[in-house]
A and B are shown apart, each in its own frame.
Chain A
Amino acid sequence: NAGVTQTPKFQVLKTGQSMTLQCAQDMNHNSMYWYRQDPGMGLRLIYYSASEGTTDKGEVPNGYNVSRLNKREFSLRLESAAPSQTSVYFCASSEASAGQDYEQYFGPGTRLTVT
């Protein structure tokens, strides 16, 4: 099992450009998450999807959109990148339903720089 995979690993964008970060998991998990991690800070939730077909905003959703394409894939889109979106982006998945194992499994991260 590959676990959680993310593409790309690194990306440099100019201000105003758009891009989509891809995430896929092969653990048959219901829930998937997108976080950003800035230096000296913890992970902040951007969006999450409790199950296929549903998405919900997290702490810092402004400037981002998501798509839960199917149970395996959850993508994050930056429509018009800004320097404030320079960060490391982590995707994660978990079972996360009542009474079940909540453990989150993280992808390797995407390091995004916006100039």
Chain B
Amino acid sequence: GENVEQHPSTLSVQEGDSAVIKCTYSDSASNYFPWYKQELGKRPQLIIDIRSNVGEKKDQRIAVTLNKTAKHFSLHITETQPEDSAVYFCAASEDKFYFGSGTKLNVKP
């Protein structure tokens, strides 16, 4: 089956800095790559996603890039704010979804 690895496990940045989280996947059949934000005690919420026929997608301060050849994709958050502090998960899917182990982002004011 698919194997998704996510790095780093924790990330601490100063407010206003950028944050980058990276994921790799193993199954070349995966064609959909969502990113989720999960606040403490809450359900995961989709923040951005990308399909395998697209290399980059941006939504305001959040962007995702995908390199199909290398089988890796990354989440970029610019101008970080304290409310961005949460755990972020990547996932890869063809039909089933496989999740990375999560990155705890701490944005220091």
> Interface on A for B, CB 8 Å cutoff?
31, 33, 35, 40-45, 48, 50, 56, 58-59, 90, 96, 102-104, 106-109
Contacts and interface: CB of A to CB of B under 8 A. Distances in A.
Interface residues of B, number: 21
A104 B102 CA distance: 17
Q: Is the interface of B mostly helix, strand, loop or mixed?
A: strand
A90 B98 CA distance: 14
Contacts of B96: 33, 45, 48, 56, 58
Nearest to B2: A59
Contact of A102 (B34, B99, B102): B34
B94 to A, nearest CB: 10
Contact of A43 (B93, B95, B99): B99
B80 interface: no
A73 to B, nearest CB: 18
Interface of B: 1, 4, 6, 32, 34, 42-46, 49, 89, 93, 95-102
A115 B28 CA distance: 41
B99 A42 contact: yes
A47 B65 CA distance: 29
Contact of A103 (B4, B34, B43, B89): B34
A44 B99 contact: yes
Nearest to A31: B95
A106 B43 contact: yes
B100 A42 contact: yes
